[in-house]
Each structure stands twice: as structure tokens, then as C-alpha cells.
Amino acid sequence: MVLNAELKSINPILVHRPRDRTHPHTEVKLSAENLDTLKFLCREMIGKKDREKINSGIKLFQLLTERGKLGPQNPEFVSECLRQIQRHDLAEKLRNFETESAKPEDEPSDTEKVKLDLATEVIAENLIRGWRKLGRKLGVKDVKLESISKKHPSDIEETVVQLLKEWRKSVGAEAQTQKLLEALRACQFNLTADKVEERLKENGY
């Protein structure tokens, strides 16, 4: 079946505002086998009876949206499922489209961005373990944490950098250095929080 209709149906869910450009998936085909496999991968959040009723990607995506597994800030579950059926092209396009669709007004101020960049450097340098704990405290979903871990299995510093990038992307303008400091202290990472504050003061913040 052609994925045109399915992806157009979830287009308003994935983006914050109308776009003139065509969704990157509109000319890609999703086979019946692909759909069956995706349904199987979603078995933990979609019951057997509901799965049996799904005969198109539209219905599958609608159910995933209703159950909080697909939205403007969390395309990762669907992306991961697409990767598991070897549709890396679709997974990457979905991820890129979601990233490019963020509105400028959903970002912190330029000053706050600089502060967050400084904080990220310090945390990446000092947080040897416990990055998952910090991620959960910041509200990053487990499926996203698992994806980050797989991409950088032996590089903790890069893992932390990607974690904080994901957090900033997911909360938009609400990404504030103070919230990051509060999360660090809530996780008992007080030494790291102290070092972040020191770095900020050194740079005039």
C-alpha cells in the first residue's frame, strides 16, 4: 500500500504549523508485510483485538497517537520500529522532518542557549555514570534513552551531549539552565551542579 495517505494523516500531528513543502514519506511504499511487522512491534500498547482491526498505516498511527506514542515531540518510538523492519530511510526522514519542523519561537533565548551550551559541556565532562537517571528526571522517555545508548555504547561523554540535546529539543523554549541544575541536584549530582554554576559565573552568568 502507498504510504502517501497514511503519512498525510499524521502530518498535522508531527508538525506545529502548516508547511508548503511535501512530507518526505509521501512517495514511499509500505508493504503489507511491513505493516504486519509494525503491528507486531506495537503489541505491548495495542491489544490483539485492536491489532486485528488495523488494515492500514492510518489506523495504526492514529492508535499510536491516542496512546501517546506519536506526536510532535516523540516520533522516536515509530522511528525505532521502522529501523527494526530495516526501513532506515523512513526512520531518518521522519526524524529529520520532525526536527526541521520546530518553530523558532519554540527555542530558548540566545542568552539561555549559551548558558545551556556551557552547562552541557560541564555535565558531559563530569557525569561519568547516572546519565539515564538524569534523563528520566528531565522527562526524556525510556525509548529515547535506549536509542541514545545504542548510538554511543562506549562514549559516555557523547551520550550525555546527545541526551541533553534531546531534552532541549523536546521541551523547546522551556529548556532553562535552572531546570537543568534542579534536575542534577534532585539526582544528587551536586558536585556536577556546583561545577556548572562555577562555569556560568566564570563566563559572566
pLDDT value of position 105: 54
- The residue-averaged pLDDT of 155-174 equals 92
- Tell me the C-alpha to C-alpha distance, in Å, between residue 139 and each of 74, 84, 183: 12, 25, 10
Q: How confident is the model at residue 56 (pLDDT cuts 50, 70, 90)?
A: confident
Q: How confident is the model at residue 22 (pLDDT cuts 50, 70, 90)?
A: very low
- The residue-averaged pLDDT of 148-173 equals 90
pLDDT value of position 196: 96
* pTM assigned to the model: 0.53
- Tell me the C-alpha to C-alpha distance, in Å, between residue 161 and each of 31, 120, 194: 37, 6, 18
**pLDDT at 126 > cutoff 90:** yes
Q: How confident is the model at residue 183 (pLDDT cuts 50, 70, 90)?
A: very high
- Tell me the C-alpha to C-alpha distance, in Å, between residue 10 and each of 3, 16, 71, 88: 11, 12, 9, 19
SS3 content of the chain, % helix, strand, coil (to 5): 65, 0, 30
Domains and CATH numbers, the chain: 4-100 (1.10.533.10), 108-202 (1.10.533.10)
Q: How confident is the model at residue 154 (pLDDT cuts 50, 70, 90)?
A: confident
